[in-house]
Chain A
Amino acid sequence: MRRFDYYAPGSLSEALSILQERGNGCRLLAGGTDLLVQMREAGLHASCLVSLRRLAELRSIDFDEGTGLRIGAGTDMATIEAHPVVHERYRALFEAASLIGSVQTRNMATIGGNICNAAPSADSAPPLIALDAVAEIESPGGRRELAVGDLFTGPGATALGPNEILVALRLPVPPPHAGSVYQRHTPRQEMDIAVVGVGVALTLRPDGQIIQEVRVGLGAVAPTPIRAREAEDALRGQSPSEELFARAAELAVAASRPISDVRGSAAFRQELVRVMTRRCLGIALERARAS
């Protein structure tokens, strides 16, 4: 690894002022499981690393029945996976956190890092999109918020400015009769990267007969994680059925723009979107009925 200057600020404001002083070439270091690999293998050169390790304020998970779940961006995947509220009420996020990498990866990798590295295949992205997560972003000028789905601008690129830090992700309280799921296709169960990932959150009306709200997030099928809005529109206000889910799955396929690469061809990925969207809608429906 090439040399760099290293800072471990003790507060968010200190971290922000280092970013401002050092300008471009500065990278934030969270778990390191993506960044250090990029610096070693992919020729990324950072002249300066700002470690977030000492910022305890980035590592909290708080749940409130009124405001919902707030996850500090520096929270590692193992902590998210082990959180009882995430397990019970934000099932898609639990499933993503428990799939990522290995035990070692999950002990190090953070949810903020997974989002900010902005891999199209990032496992936390489809569930966060499906669960309507909002990113809290801090800069020397103050705090702004952005829907997680609007954060991604390209492979490895986000809407974050050079002086901004993603501090937390906020997820609303799931309404009654809601269920969510994340599934990915990988040749191996562990230590693999999604060929396709699908996250679905579905809410039924109180009578349990009609889909009141639904969100579908897709990973690894476009330059960024995406939302399948046409599929959602086709589902909303309808009575769930196999035919309806099959039609929504076709619309999800139409929304995807996959590439062919070492993990799978574009045609294979589209077939996976078809099968997995249908399957995930069915699982989210079952969970919504059971909740």
Chain B
Amino acid sequence: MSSVSITLRVNGRSYEVQTEPHRTLLDVVREDLRLTGAKEGCSTGECGACSMIVNGRLITSCLMLAPEANGADIVTIEGLAQDGQLHPLQQAFIDHGAVQCGFCIPAMILAGKALLDVNPHPTEAEIRRAIAGNLCRCTGYAKIVEAIAAVAEAP
């Protein structure tokens, strides 16, 4: 079967993409849309580095075929800063020294955002559970949790 035509709305902008159906949403966003914030780590949904928010829910884009996202509203890390202002979570990650090598961070911030969007004042346990699907191999989890908690506590 030949390629399929899909429409994606990514960070508020609409894209028409032709893709072969075996390519993932991650492939299309990185290679066709050139938004490389989402990373390919394990390719099997375990590391979470490819996480995006699709129709309001955090998913691993390495396990979503691109045509499965047809018509979806997608947020990647590139969509968080507004008018040159970092998103409060991005700023908090910097302020708390939560970023080491950086590979896991775009998805980690999106996992934090997905949590705070539905639960603005989570407990530490809820924060840890919300990022359980995101591995950081620098193992800077304590500072990542602190950064998310700081945004959650802000008035």
Contacts and interface: CB of A to CB of B under 8 A. Distances in A.
Interface of A: 1-6, 8, 29, 31-33, 36-37, 40-41, 49, 51, 53, 78, 101-105, 107-108, 189-191
Contacts of B20: 3
Interface stretch (B9-17, B38-46, B98-106, B146-154): B38-46
A104 B44 contact: no
B48 A102 contact: yes
Given A102-B48, A190-B129, A191-B133, A108 B60 contact: yes
Contacts of B133: 101-105, 190-191
Nearest to A101: B133
Given A32-B63, A108-B60, A190-B132, A40 B44 contact: yes
Interface of B: 1, 4, 20-22, 24, 43-46, 48, 51, 57-60, 63-65, 67-68, 70, 111, 114-115, 129-130, 132-134
Contacts of B67: 6, 8, 51
Contacts of A102: 48, 132-134
Contact of B22 (A4, A33, A191): A4
Contact of A40 (B43, B58, B59, B129): B43
Contacts of B1: 4-6
B63 A108 contact: yes
Contacts of A51: 65, 67-68
Nearest to B57: A107
A104 B133 CA distance: 7
A51 B66 CA distance: 12
25 contacts: A3-B20, A4-B21, A5-B1, A8-B68, A31-B63, A32-B68, A33-B60, A33-B63, A36-B45, A36-B63, A37-B63, A49-B21, A78-B57, A101-B45, A103-B111, A103-B129, A103-B132, A104-B51, A104-B58, A105-B60, A107-B59, A108-B60, A189-B132, A190-B132, A191-B133
A4 B114 CA distance: 33
Contacts of A40: 43-44
A40 B115 CA distance: 29
B65 A29 contact: yes
A53 B22 CA distance: 16
A107 B59 CA distance: 6
